[in-house]
A and B are shown apart, each in its own frame.
Chain A
Amino acid sequence: MDGSYYPSNPLPQSSTSTNRFSLTAPSSSPSTSTSTSKPTTTAGRIASATGLYTSSSPALAPAPTGILDRPLNKGKGAEVGMSAFAFLLAEVVSYSQSRVDSVTDLERRLSSLGYEAGLRILSLILLRNTQQAGGKDPKREHRLIPILQFVHTQVYKYCFGKPADGLERSVEGEDEYMLTMNQPPLTQHISIPKDMSQLSCEAFTAGIVEGVLDGLDVPARVTAHTVGTDQYPQRTVILIKLDQKVMDREEVLGK
């Protein structure tokens, strides 16, 4: 019984090997110029990984358009398959996991990846909103509550297809807000092993929120916590702890 009875086709999703993400060297595709210009950031690596997929067959596509050459206004085919993203995130997690010592470090790493995504998502959403309004009256929230509602509704809708399930202020402090999602789509297939029960891979989402908030000049410490209920065992709370500076500014601005 040595596996030789069996087809030797490799498992498509196999392997904890990390070579998918070690594409820091300039990839063969001419269009992923961002990846070569910023090879040191982890986000740059991911951009290069995705860029490689889009242009993996230059022979078939005569004029390969890189992800940066596409129009920024919302077009068809802008969605990414949930399975594709689930596999990508699974590799991101196992790649990160092989480079950290503790759960806290892993969460920090995932969060910093999300942060980079959040900064870009913010610019994109603001640009699209302005374009949709015909370039008139560009809007950028500056007060705390509208900003949080913007995250709750628009950012979540852009990322996950639906708004978050709840936004509430913590009973513990004025500067703490909670965004809840009953079934977080990004991590729906991940089950945390018992010895890492503190971990929540939604740290990635927390990073996105932190990036968006930071881009709107609302610095905050954002963490993710899995608080399961009987109905929703994967219910996740994104805890936003705002910087004192934000609270001071809100007080000055008044009602």
Chain B
Amino acid sequence: MIHAVWVINKAGGLVFNRSYSDVLPPLPLNAVLILAGTLHGIHAITGRLDPTTNSKSRSGPSSGQGMEAFEAEGWGGRVWLSGTGTKFIVLHSIPHSGLDELLRRIYEIYADAVMKNPFHTPEMPINSSLFETRLQTLIAGVNT
């Protein structure tokens, strides 16, 4: 079960969030924005903690791999950072298979419906009905 999809821009601002289940507690938009900003910060810090990357080869603080997943009792989140710094997050129930594939598909839809839309301003909230519709179809297919 996929509970929600978030998209966070490279400055840490939430540009898209949508719930796909009714068990997720409804939060005011401001609370979700703060949560997304915090998640962005944690992702950045965990990236700097990364011991697997050789510290000498690091050119900047960004070279490490940040947090990829978090888990709690019965639910969790999967984080995926695109090459351009945009983060895609799904909140899901545990166990859940095929999350990586799902995130790639979400990214594909994002590349098509958002980046190829002349009425979208980069780094600004996503306001594309096409993106929402295609995402809805994708998630509905996973949730059944």
Contact = CB atoms under 8 A, between A and B. Distances in A.
Interface stretch (A62-70, A72-80, A87-95, A146-154): A87-95
Contact of A1 (B12, B48, B115, B118): B12
Given A189-B112, A189-B117, A189-B130, A3 B85 contact: yes
Contacts, number: 79
Contact of A90 (B10, B118, B131, B133): B118
A5 B117 CA distance: 28
A16 interface: yes
B64 to A, nearest CB: 10
B79 to A, nearest CB: 14
Interface string A174-202: 00000000000000011111001000010
Contact of B117 (A3, A4, A8, A191): A191
Contact of A94 (B44, B118, B129): B118
Interface in A5-50: 5-9, 11-16
Interface residues of B, number: 30
A86 B113 CA distance: 10
Interface string B47-70: 110000000000011100000000
Interface stretch (B24-32, B90-98, B99-107, B119-127): B119-127
A155 B118 CA distance: 26
B62 A7 contact: yes
A190 B118 contact: yes
A11 B12 contact: no
B129 A191 contact: yes
A97 interface: yes
Chain A interface, DSSP helix/strand/loop, else mixed? loop
A7 B85 contact: yes
Given A3-B10, A9-B83, A14-B122, A83 B116 contact: yes
Nearest to B127: A193
A196 B40 CA distance: 34
Contacts of A90: 116-118
A201 to B, nearest CB: 8
Nearest to A11: B84
Contacts of B136: none
Contact of A193 (B44, B61, B119, B122): B119
Given A1-B11, A1-B41, A191-B113, 11 more contacts: A5-B62, A9-B83, A11-B84, A16-B122, A87-B116, A94-B118, A97-B118, A191-B129, A191-B130, A191-B131, A193-B119
Interface of B: 10-12, 37, 40-41, 44, 47-48, 60-62, 83-85, 112-113, 115-119, 121-122, 127-131, 133
17 contacts: A1-B11, A1-B40, A3-B11, A5-B61, A6-B85, A8-B60, A9-B84, A14-B84, A15-B122, A16-B122, A189-B113, A189-B130, A190-B116, A190-B117, A190-B130, A191-B119, A193-B127
